[in-house]
């Protein structure tokens, strides 16, 4: 008896989008990605990256597909590579609550792009951003398709995770170092027990509800 099996090959990001933009006359093509839109606490982290032709990182992929150890290794390689230009911004909790998560993320993307003075075209993970300060296009799941977006995803993720570890030292009762602000069971239980802390997003329903219930108990 013969047995057959199906083998699935995981596609990796490449520079096809970057090359296509250069063919259309753009010289300084950057990739932009964010980390942290979904959590109940902490900032959104946004990075922009321009990769030179000598910037090669083995295993570079969407940060969500990499282990923490692999992300840190690639992050260190990016930081030490002279053929890479990058910038980074946070959209802090106050900004998120004041203008909503989508607008805060897009504002941080715009700030991050303009920090790279020579950038003339942006590949943005996700949908197009209306009114972006430079020519751009949105690429759905771009962090698994474009090398520069993948590099941006690694930077954004690593820097946000490090920020959440710092917050964990100040607010240890919530467990930020482990769940990074996402709505895990442990996090939601801590919210109900202690109420929100200053870095929680009050515009997010679980936080608003926890604040209401905690306030009633008080």
Which string of b and e fits 80-111 if b means at least 16 CB within 10 Å? ebeebbbbbbbbbbebbbeeebeebbbbbbbb
What is the spatial distance between Cα 32 and Cα 185, in angstroms, rounded to a whole number? 31
From residue 3, alpha-carbon distances to 6, 107, 202 in Å are 10, 54, 55
- Find out whether 156 and 62 touch, Cβ atoms under 8 Å: no
Q: What is the model's pLDDT at position 53?
A: 86
Using 50, 70 and 90 to split pLDDT, how confident is the model at 8? very low
Q: What is the model's pLDDT at position 64?
A: 94
Percent of the chain scoring above 90 in pLDDT: 90
Q: What is the model's pLDDT at position 9?
A: 46
From residue 69, alpha-carbon distances to 63, 74, 202 in Å are 11, 9, 32
- Find out whether 142 and 125 touch, Cβ atoms under 8 Å: yes
Percent of the chain scoring above 70 in pLDDT: 94
> What mean pLDDT value characterizes the chain?
94
pTM > 0.75:
yes
- Name the 3-class secondary structure at 218: coil
- Find out whether 217 and 209 touch, Cβ atoms under 8 Å: no
Q: What is the model's pLDDT at position 10?
A: 57
**Mean pLDDT confidence for 100-116:** 97
33-57 tens-digit pLDDT: 999 999 999 999 999 999 998 899 9
What is the spatial distance between Cα 35 and Cα 86, in angstroms, rounded to a whole number? 15
- Return all residues near 40 (Cβ < 8 A) that are at least 6 apart: 181, 182, 183, 187, 191, 200, 201, 204, 206, 207
Q: What is the model's pLDDT at position 216?
A: 67
């Amino acid at each position: 008896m013969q047995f057959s099996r199906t083998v699935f090959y995981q596609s990796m990001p490449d520079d096809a989008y970057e090359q296509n933009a250069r063919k259309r006359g753009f010289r300084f093509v950057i990739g932009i990605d964010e980390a942290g839109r979904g959590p109940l606490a902490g900032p959104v982290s946004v990075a922009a990256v321009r990769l030179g032709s000598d910037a090669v990182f083995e295993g570079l992929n969407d940060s969500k597909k990499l282990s923490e150890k692999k992300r840190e290794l690639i992050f260190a390689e990016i930081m030490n590579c002279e053929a890479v230009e990058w910038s980074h911004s946070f959209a802090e909790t106050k900004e998120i609550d004041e203008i909503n998560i989508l607008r805060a993320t897009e504002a941080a993307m715009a700030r991050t792009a303009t920090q790279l003075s020579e950038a003339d075209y942006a590949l943005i993970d996700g949908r197009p951003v209306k009114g972006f300060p430079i020519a751009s296009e949105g690429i759905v799941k771009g962090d698994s398709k474009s090398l520069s977006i993948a590099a941006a995803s690694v930077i954004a993720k690593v820097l946000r995770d490090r920020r959440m570890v710092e917050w964990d030292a100040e607010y240890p009762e919530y467990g930020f170092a482990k769940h990074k602000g996402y709505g895990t069971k442990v996090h939601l239980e801590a919210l109900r027990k202690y109420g929100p802390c200053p870095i929680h997003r009050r515009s997010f329903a679980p936080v608003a509800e926890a604040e209401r219930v905690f306030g009633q108990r008080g």
